[in-house]
Amino acid sequence: MISNSNKPVIGVTMGDPAGIGAEVIVKALAEPAIRRRGRFVIYGLNELMAYAADMAELDVFWWREQHERINRNYPQSVVVGDYDEINWFSNNIRQSSSLGGEVSMRFVCDAIDDALAGKIDAVVTAPISKESWHLAGFKYPGHTELLTHRCRAKCSAMMFVGGPFKVVLATIHEGLFAIRNKFTIGRVFDPINLVNDALKEWFAVPKPKIAVAALNPHAGEEGRFGDEEKRIIEPAILMAQEAGINVEGPFPADTLFYKALHNNCYDAIVAMYHDQGLIPIKLLAFDKAVNVTIGLPIIRTSVDHGTAFDIVGRNKANPNSMKEAIKLACEMVEIKKARRMGS
């Protein structure tokens, strides 16, 4: 059995306090098999953790850190950070709010800083409310943009792991009609390059094979349905191939996922826009998909759902995505450490 000191140290952020973050965290970590995978530091409010545990009729299985937020030598497997000055229950907020934005931003920033400092091995995030961040005056559209800026990464990409697929998005939270003005060779090349590196570093795939989806129906059909394939996607693929990456495409998206599923021929797929990539993921792994930010110097995984304000306090939140996000973070840390020890 792996000694406690050698287990991955995983930071888990609670997300918006008005959401289901506390509930999915306590339900996930209540599973002994998950707790045995690592040691966990929860960036969140102890009172909300206790409330969620009571609602779910779970025993309190964590220890409160009173002094130093993280002590790698402490034997407890689950530690809750000290945010005692935040009295959330007195506000009775069950929706997006400026306070929720301020508190959830503090949780994730503390976790990022600790990951960059090497105090934790990975960050797992529960859902934030983008509206709460907006109300609090933060300009970041979501976690991905904040992580990229705070980690000083040149670029990043959003990858979803679910069922048989690893899908990376070339464009993220942008309207379909807005994509045309931002769709460049770099926007396609970067996720190809990033996922190639991530598969080697974090997923133990020594020679990744990557497929790229087309943007237009029938891959543009020689320009009849759009010229983005010829003008943008194909040059990006050629650049990647010249850089030594094993990548193919662009393939019509309506058949690519079917072929990838049944022939098991690709390690990752690069999709051109949000729904193109997320529909197959959520069709096959709705409750178990995980969001991974690639291109960062730290490991970050996340649930693939939102705050679900409508079911807060009703003990109805499904913790499966949080369980998978935690397990995947542990696996990625273990692979990364093993790879570096062998190099």
Among the residue ranges 53-62, 261-270, 317-326, the one predicted with the least confidence is 53-62
Q: What is the reported pLDDT for 74?
A: 45
**Structural fold of domain 154-295:** Isopropylmalate Dehydrogenase (3.40.718)
For 267-324, write each residue's pLDDT tens digit: 999 999 999 999 999 999 988 999 999 999 999 999 989 999 999 989 999 999 999 9
Q: Token pair for residue 202?
A: 């974090």
Comparing 1-153+296-338 with 154-295, is the CATH topology the same? Answer: yes
**Per-residue pLDDT at 66 exceeds 50:** no
**Per-residue pLDDT at 233 exceeds 90:** yes
Question: Mean pLDDT, to the nearest integer, of 130-146?
Answer: 94
Question: Mean pLDDT, to the nearest integer, of 220-227?
Answer: 75
**Per-residue pLDDT at 40 exceeds 50:** yes
Per-residue confidence at 122, pLDDT binned at 50, 70, 90? very high
- Exposure string for 5-19, b = 16+ CB within 10 A, e = fewer: eebbbbbbbbbbbbb
Per-residue confidence at 264, pLDDT binned at 50, 70, 90? confident
Alpha carbon distances (Å) from 297 to 13, 53, 149, 223: 18, 33, 12, 39
Per-residue confidence at 34, pLDDT binned at 50, 70, 90? very high
Among the residue ranges 78-92, 175-189, 192-206, 225-239, the one predicted with the least confidence is 78-92
Question: Mean pLDDT, to the nearest integer, of 140-161?
Answer: 94
Q: What is the reported pLDDT for 73?
A: 45
Show Cβ contacts of residue 27 under 8 Å, excluding neighbours closer than 6 positions: 52, 56, 58, 317, 319, 322
**The one-letter amino acid at 121:** D
The mean predicted confidence, pLDDT, of the chain is 89
Pairing of strands 268-271, 165-169: parallel
**Per-residue pLDDT at 2 exceeds 50:** no
Show Cβ contacts of residue 113 under 8 Å, excluding neighbours closer than 6 positions: 150
Q: What is the reported pLDDT for 91?
A: 65
**Residue whose structure tokens are 């990838």:** 260
Q: What is the reported pLDDT for 218?
A: 87
Per-residue confidence at 263, pLDDT binned at 50, 70, 90? confident
pLDDT exceeding 70 applies to what percent of the chain?
Answer: 92
- What is the CATH architecture assignment of 1-153+296-338? 3-Layer(aba) Sandwich (3.40)
Burial of 108 (0-12, 13-18, 19+ CB in 10 A): buried
Q: What is the reported pLDDT for 3?
A: 39
Q: What is the reported pLDDT for 4?
A: 52
Query: In terms of DSSP H, where are the helices of 56-138?
Result: 98-116, 130-135
Domain spans of the chain, in order of start: 1-153+296-338, 154-295
**Per-residue pLDDT at 198 exceeds 90:** yes
- Give 3-state DSSP helix, strand, coil % of the chain, rounded to 5: 45, 15, 40
Q: What is the reported pLDDT for 90?
A: 63
**Could you give the strand order of the β-sheet that contains 209-213, starting from the edge strand earlier in sequence?**
63-64, 78-80, 39-43, 9-13, 122-125, 299-303, 290-294, 157-162, 165-169, 268-271, 209-213, 246-251
